[in-house]
Each structure stands twice: as structure tokens, then as C-alpha cells.
Amino acid sequence: QKEVEQNSGPLSVPEGAIASLNCTYSDRGSQSFFWYRQYSGKSPELIMFIYSNGDKEDGRFTAQLNKASQYVSLLIRDSQPSDSATYLCAVSSDSWGKLQFGAGTQVVVTP
């Protein structure tokens, strides 16, 4: 059984601080890693994807991948109240693109 694990939260972050979200996965053959943001009652929105070990930065977001440790993380710098949402980690292990999702981490940015 392939598993993707995330802390459910809520993760409370002061405005302007860095939010750090973690995700572990069980399938060593995993190839593609994605972070989605989901506001309550809305659909998931892609914010980052990463395929290789190391860091990938896009604006205030940084994704970090460590395949040896089977760990992917998301950093949100200068957190804003609009970043309050649930963040979903998703992992793909094949060329069909079938995604395995974690249950999500709720982030609450407090003014």
C-alpha cells in the first residue's frame, strides 16, 4: 500500500513568518512530487512541482526533495493571511501520472 503522510495541523503561523510543511512517502519508485493549495470549498490549485533532489524556488514558495529520505517539504516565506488554506502533497510513481495524495496540512496565518 503506497502511502503519503502529512501532519494534519492546523499549523499556526504568524503573518510574515515562514511556514514549513512536511510530507513523507512510502514508494521508493516515486518520480514526481506536487504541492497543491486548497481553500475551503474550492478545488486544489497547483503551486509547486519538483522532480529532482534539492530545492526549487518560485516566488515565496520553495519545494525541497530528498529521495533518499523519502521526504518532500514546502516552505512559504513571508506568510500572508491569504496563505491560510489546506496544502496537499501528491506523489506520482508511474508514467500514467496517477497521483497519491496526503490528507493535507491546514495552515492558519494569524495577523
Partner 1 sequence: DAGITQSPRHKVTETGTPVTLRCHQTENHRYMYWYRQDPGHGLRLIHYSYGVKDTDKGEVSDGYSVSRSKTEDFLLTLESATSSQTSVYFCAISVGTGGQPQHFGDGTRLSIL
Going by C-alpha positions, the residue among 109, 94, 101, 110 that lies closest to residue 36 is 101
Half-sphere exposure of 2 (CA within 13 A, CB side): 16
Which cell goes with 101?
A: 495524495
- 3-class DSSP state of 24: strand
Could you say which of 10, 14, 15, 31 contacts partner 1 (CB under 8 A)? Answer: 31
By CB under 8 A, residue 25 contacts partner 1: no
Which cell goes with 20?
A: 514549513
By CB under 8 A, residue 82 contacts partner 1: no
By CB under 8 A, residue 34 contacts partner 1: yes
Question: Which of residues 24 and 92 has its CB atom nearest to partner 1 in the complex?
Answer: 92
What minimum distance in Å lies between the beta carbon of 77 and partner 1?
22
- 3-class DSSP state of 106: strand
Q: Torsions phi, psi of 5, nearest 5?
A: -115, 135
- 3-class DSSP state of 104: coil
Which region among 13-21, 42-50, 54-62, 73-81 touches partner 1 (by CB under 8 A)? 42-50
Which region among 12-20, 54-62, 71-79, 101-109 touches partner 1 (by CB under 8 A)? 101-109
Which region among 15-23, 37-45, 57-65, 74-82 touches partner 1 (by CB under 8 A)? 37-45
